[in-house]
A and B are shown apart, each in its own frame.
Chain A
Amino acid sequence: MARGIKDRVAIVGMGCSRFGERWNDDAEALMVEAFDECIADAGIDVSRIDAAWLGVGFEAQNIGPSGIPLATALRLPDIGVTKVENYCATGTDSFRGAVYAVASGAADIALAMGVEKLKDTGYGGLPARSRGLNFDMYGVTGSAPGNFAQIAAPYRAKHGVSRDDLKRAMAHVSVKSHANGARNPKAHLRKAIDIETVLNAPMIAEPLGLFDCCGVSDGAACAIVTTPEIARELGRTDPVLVKSIQLVTSNGWELQHGGGWDGTYFHTTRKAAARAYAEAGVTDPREEIDLLEVHDCFSITELVTMEDLFISKEGQAWKDILDGFYDADGHTPCQIDGGLKCFGHPIGASGLRMIYENYLQLQGRAGERQRADGPKLALSHNLGGAPIQNVSAITIVGLEGA
């Protein structure tokens, strides 16, 4: 394995727009809103940015192709802007581009932006779209809930979990995230709910009901990264450092290899997690990781991801969840900002939004929802695609020495 980039890149500025149904704002306004916070946080002039990455998931349905929309919105100083699209893992991949540019020495200071303007598409969920000319002839263009719902039945069958137990654990995931989102002023959904509401909601894709699904939102989030040396020059005495970034893309094994993947977990997440822990020097994630931001597009996704990140034992996450292990006041909070479920899910921005929350928490700047026990190491997990074919991206950030 490559030696990795642990502690070679620091985050000096981050920004995140308010997420939600931003009827009066276009993608440009959202990017400017996030960037204003970010550049003020970094305390630098725009002219110091050497390179930028722009992540957008549904480019054809909103801002259009290329890096030009970012360069134009922010009037960037004649630098290279790379457009990134990697399903819902787009935000983290945008961050990865900027971080790698700094780690390689190609750039001193780089910008990663993620943005999505979904509420101009007219869809209640994600827009239906082609997945390529070959796939469209024999693949199923199901909805996102339909694709993710399919983890539930094989998981139940393999681990002997009853329909009711699994549904209740899934419901706890959503109840917890709603409670967290209620304390986040930038969150899309800010209303606490009870478990009965979740259990009795209309079915979207069996067994996922309405409250097992995250909202889709408009929003933008961004990060300015640099070397630890420049971070200190900028006055950062205890900078947030990148410990690891790992991204794994399905190669068709889950989709095509009969009898291989059993449908109960995310193959890519397990691979990415193992590599991310190795890169960051984490040996006991259940005890060492202080905070989790994961890709809770659906409650069942968060549930099995707790196992794929090796925090809960295989087949046991549903018990940890019901025990409150991942609650805001639990052992390891998951989605302390409300997660995709309630902060919202503007596709291209989500990976950066997760890092934004971890960045705030590590610095003790998360306001009302700040975790009191001084978190030092935080993980974000950003997933795109469907369980059977996806992109999984993990970022671990932490304080010096963590």
Chain B
Amino acid sequence: MSDFGVLSCGVYLPRRRLDRTAIYGANRWFAPGLKGLARGHRAVANWDEDAVTMAVEAARACLDGRDRAAVEGLTLASVTHPFADRANAGIVKEALNLSDGIAALDAGGSMRAATSALRDALEGSRMRLCIGSDLRKARPASEAELVQGDGAAAILVGRGAPIARLVASHSVTVDFVDHFRASGESFDYQWESRWVREEGHLAILADAVQALLTEAKVAAGDIDHAVLPIAAGGTVKAIARKLGLKDGAVLDTLSAEIGDTGTGHPLLLLTRALERASPGERILVTGFGQGADVLLFEATEAIADHRPQRTVAACVEDGVADDNYMRFLFHRGLIDLERGIRAELDQKQPGTTLYRKRTAVLGLVGSRCSVTGTVQFPPSAISVDPNGRKQGTQEDYPLADRTARIVSYTADALGYSPDPPTYYGTLDFDGGGRLVTEFAEVGPDDVEVGRAMRMVFRIKAEDEQRHFTKYFWKAVPLNEGDA
């Protein structure tokens, strides 16, 4: 048997879960027809998250405990890459502190970008990280606003002890325009859902699955786990019926809890399937968008030992209910609040300084003195240790995966923040090193001297004049069971 296949997986879901009744409640006067969708919650990214930051967090979960030096390639699939011309995958590569000697590619243009990327990786020979991540923007009072969610999932493909192998794959490409968004535009234009269901999901997608099953000589009834990442539950059931999938094989799409997370959603559901699969079980994964990708996996013996640090279920559960629709609109740039003079600070980022300091800024790589062992951030020519004045002795020392403890903190209501007050403070890392940084996802009860925190990759600021996103690392509370 081949030792090439899916090695690990990881997902990331933002913490806030916006109550769909809050969305509906604000828009009911205008769009009463949305009532049918006003159930459950959708995952919403914070103001300082985007497709890149969520991709980094999913990838960190996926690579947990693995030698990152072995990764040879990275694909970031998204239809909401923050940059149109700057490799978004390159930012993820820097944040993950991967080797410079890797291939990195942004895949996009379709909701099946991630399944296409995964198929390509599985049909290659190198160790490749495939990530799907999206933070989609929908007009207020649209169906999409209610149906979508934010999140990311990552799958590591390569040689080793795979937990699943690709058995067969099949793709079709047809210019079926169920929705579209022109370059530079903010919002999708959606065609009638009944047509999408009948001619898209039940025809193009179902036919593609049937073609694969026929080709692979596998009966639909022998599929143990099927990923059909379609938000409309009725459509999913209809496809299952048409294909003859067995009862209970189709994975719940998590529409009620988090929403449709976009390109990463098939990978997120594959991750969930892999957590449930037993050796020898078959997993069908589909992606839909101007055609379809169909991938058939078989779980290996190694799946029995697959014990992820955080399951998809745990990520789904680890959310906080949110009914602040106004904040959601503001964070998505859909309403323009008066932000005050303190928001006017010029955030210009020179290309030279970011390039020079990229491992420190994007990778949170500090340094360790090879003589005294003193850890510091950022690195400098002369060590910060007052007892061991040493020059030119510092070696790279990654800090992103180390636990840190609060030395001091405040909640600042004066400085500008899109999510006031701004929590920030001083942290000491276990094993050495100190950092002053912002805290994310905290409230008054989450901060105290000595409290353990972990680092997350976030947006630090936006240069709104030149449209450049600045990233850095922030601290969130370390909860039991966190990586």
Taking CB atoms, residues of chain A closer than 8 Å to B385 are 257
Name which residue of chain A comes closest to B385, CB basis: A257
B375 within 8 A of A: yes
Q: Do A138 and B378 contact each other (CB < 8 Å), given the known contacts A123-B341, A145-B412, A258-B432?
A: yes
Q: Are B410 and A388 in contact (CB under 8 A)?
A: no
A137 within 8 A of B: yes
A229 within 8 A of B: no
Q: Are A206 and B357 in contact (CB under 8 A)?
A: no
Give residues of chain B (386-419) contacting chain A, Cβ–Cβ below 8 Å.
Answer: 386, 407-416
Report how far A145 CA is from B361 CA in the complex, Å: 26
Taking CB atoms, residues of chain B closer than 8 Å to A232 are none
Q: Are A137 and B354 in contact (CB under 8 A)?
A: yes
Taking CB atoms, residues of chain A closer than 8 Å to B344 are 128
Q: Contact check: which of B375, B386, B407, B460 meets A263 at CB < 8 Å?
A: B407
Give residues of chain B (444-476) contacting chain A, Cβ–Cβ below 8 Å.
Answer: 444, 448-450, 460, 470, 472
Taking CB atoms, residues of chain B closer than 8 Å to A253 are 384, 386
B353 within 8 A of A: yes
Name which residue of chain A comes closest to B386, CB basis: A253
Q: Are B437 and A206 in contact (CB under 8 A)?
A: no
Interface string of A89-130 (1 = CB under 8 A from B): 000000000000000000000000000000000110100111
Taking CB atoms, residues of chain B closer than 8 Å to A150 are 408-410, 425-426
B86 within 8 A of A: no
Q: Are B414 and A257 in contact (CB under 8 A)?
A: no
Taking CB atoms, residues of chain A closer than 8 Å to B422 are 142, 146
Q: Are A143 and B415 in contact (CB under 8 A)?
A: yes
Q: Do A139 and B408 contact each other (CB < 8 Å), given the known contacts A133-B350, A153-B448?
A: no
B48 within 8 A of A: no
Name which residue of chain A comes closest to B424, CB basis: A140
Chain B nearest CB from A389 CB (Å) reads 9
Chain A nearest CB from B472 CB (Å) reads 6
Name which residue of chain A comes closest to B436, CB basis: A140
Q: Are B353 and A128 in contact (CB under 8 A)?
A: no
Report how far A245 CA is from B457 CA in the complex, Å: 45
Q: Do A146 and B410 contact each other (CB < 8 Å), given the known contacts A255-B434, A257-B376?
A: yes
Taking CB atoms, residues of chain A closer than 8 Å to B341 are 122-123, 128
Chain B nearest CB from A270 CB (Å) reads 14
Report how far A253 CA is from B383 CA in the complex, Å: 10
Taking CB atoms, residues of chain A closer than 8 Å to B384 are 252-253, 256-257
Q: Do A258 and B345 contact each other (CB < 8 Å), given the known contacts A134-B357, A140-B424, A143-B412?
A: no
Taking CB atoms, residues of chain B closer than 8 Å to A151 are 408
Q: Contact check: which of A133, A136, A204 meets B414 at CB < 8 Å?
A: A204
Q: Contact check: which of B357, B414, B437, B450 meets A146 at CB < 8 Å?
A: B414
Chain A nearest CB from B365 CB (Å) reads 11
Interface string of A347-387 (1 = CB under 8 A from B): 00000000000000000000000000000000000000001
Q: Contact check: which of B350, B432, B472 meets A138 at CB < 8 Å?
A: B472
Chain A nearest CB from B375 CB (Å) reads 6
Q: Are A256 and B376 in contact (CB under 8 A)?
A: yes
Q: Are B354 and A255 in contact (CB under 8 A)?
A: no
Taking CB atoms, residues of chain B closer than 8 Å to A144 are 414
B342 within 8 A of A: yes
Q: Contact check: which of A130, A142, A146, A262 meets B346 at CB < 8 Å?
A: A130
Chain A nearest CB from B400 CB (Å) reads 13
What is the size category of the interface that chain A forms with chain B?
35 or more
Chain B nearest CB from A253 CB (Å) reads 6
Taking CB atoms, residues of chain B closer than 8 Å to A256 are 376-377, 384, 434
A203 within 8 A of B: yes
Interface string of B340-381 (1 = CB under 8 A from A): 011011110110011001001100000000000011111010
A9 within 8 A of B: no
Q: Do A154 and B354 contact each other (CB < 8 Å), given the known contacts A128-B342, A257-B374, A258-B375?
A: no
B429 within 8 A of A: yes
What is the size category of the interface that chain B forms with chain A?
35 or more
Q: Contact check: which of A138, A141, A205, A255 meets B411 at CB < 8 Å?
A: A205
A259 within 8 A of B: yes
Q: Contact check: which of B350, B386, B434 meets A258 at CB < 8 Å?
A: B434
Chain B nearest CB from A190 CB (Å) reads 24
Q: Please indicate which of the listed interface residues A133, A258, A263 has the most CB atoms of chain B within 10 Å of its own CB.
A: A258
Chain A nearest CB from B397 CB (Å) reads 11
Taking CB atoms, residues of chain A closer than 8 Å to B293 are none
B109 within 8 A of A: no
Chain A nearest CB from B318 CB (Å) reads 26
Report how far A255 CA is from B376 CA in the complex, Å: 9
B428 within 8 A of A: yes
Name which residue of chain A comes closest to B353, CB basis: A133
Taking CB atoms, residues of chain A closer than 8 Å to B378 are 134, 138
Taking CB atoms, residues of chain B closer than 8 Å to A259 are 428, 432, 434
Report how far A147 CA is from B412 CA in the complex, Å: 9
Give residues of chain A (149-182) contacting chain B, Cβ–Cβ below 8 Å.
Answer: 149-151, 153-154, 156-157
Q: Are B415 and A128 in contact (CB under 8 A)?
A: yes
Chain A nearest CB from B91 CB (Å) reads 14
Report how far A70 CA is from B253 CA in the complex, Å: 70
B438 within 8 A of A: yes
Q: Do A137 and B472 contact each other (CB < 8 Å), given the known contacts A157-B450, A258-B432?
A: yes
Taking CB atoms, residues of chain B closer than 8 Å to A387 are 408
Q: Are B429 and A146 in contact (CB under 8 A)?
A: no
Taking CB atoms, residues of chain A closer than 8 Å to B432 are 258-259
Q: Are A153 and B408 in contact (CB under 8 A)?
A: yes
Q: Are B424 and A146 in contact (CB under 8 A)?
A: yes
Taking CB atoms, residues of chain B closer than 8 Å to A130 are 345-346
Give residues of chain A (379-402) contacting chain B, Cβ–Cβ below 8 Å.
Answer: 387-388
Chain A nearest CB from B341 CB (Å) reads 5
Q: Are A153 and B409 in contact (CB under 8 A)?
A: yes
Taking CB atoms, residues of chain A closer than 8 Å to B350 are 133
Taking CB atoms, residues of chain B closer than 8 Å to A136 are 347, 349
Taking CB atoms, residues of chain B closer than 8 Å to A204 are 412-414
Taking CB atoms, residues of chain A closer than 8 Å to B375 are 258
Q: Are A125 and B414 in contact (CB under 8 A)?
A: yes
B25 within 8 A of A: no
Taking CB atoms, residues of chain A closer than 8 Å to B354 are 137
Report how far A143 CA is from B472 CA in the complex, Å: 19
Chain A nearest CB from B473 CB (Å) reads 8
Report how far A139 CA is from B425 CA in the complex, Å: 11
Taking CB atoms, residues of chain B closer than 8 Å to A143 are 342, 412, 414-415
Chain A nearest CB from B336 CB (Å) reads 20
Chain A nearest CB from B340 CB (Å) reads 9
B229 within 8 A of A: no
Q: Which residues of A pack against B, CB within 8 Å?
A: 122-123, 125, 128-130, 133-134, 136-147, 149-151, 153-154, 156-157, 203-206, 252-253, 255-260, 262-263, 387-388
Inter-chain pairs besides A133-B353, A145-B414, A388-B426, 19 sampled, C-beta below 8 Å:
A128-B341, A128-B415, A128-B416, A141-B345, A143-B414, A144-B414, A145-B410, A146-B424, A147-B410, A150-B408, A150-B410, A151-B408, A203-B411, A252-B384, A253-B384, A256-B384, A257-B384, A260-B434, A388-B436
Complex A-B: 27 CB contacts under 8 Å: A123-B341, A128-B415, A128-B416, A134-B357, A137-B353, A137-B472, A138-B472, A140-B436, A141-B415, A142-B424, A144-B414, A146-B424, A149-B410, A149-B412, A150-B408, A150-B409, A151-B408, A153-B448, A154-B408, A157-B450, A203-B411, A204-B412, A206-B444, A257-B374, A258-B375, A262-B407, A388-B426
Closest 6 pairs (CB-CB, A-B): A146-B412, A150-B408, A143-B414, A149-B410, A263-B408, A143-B415
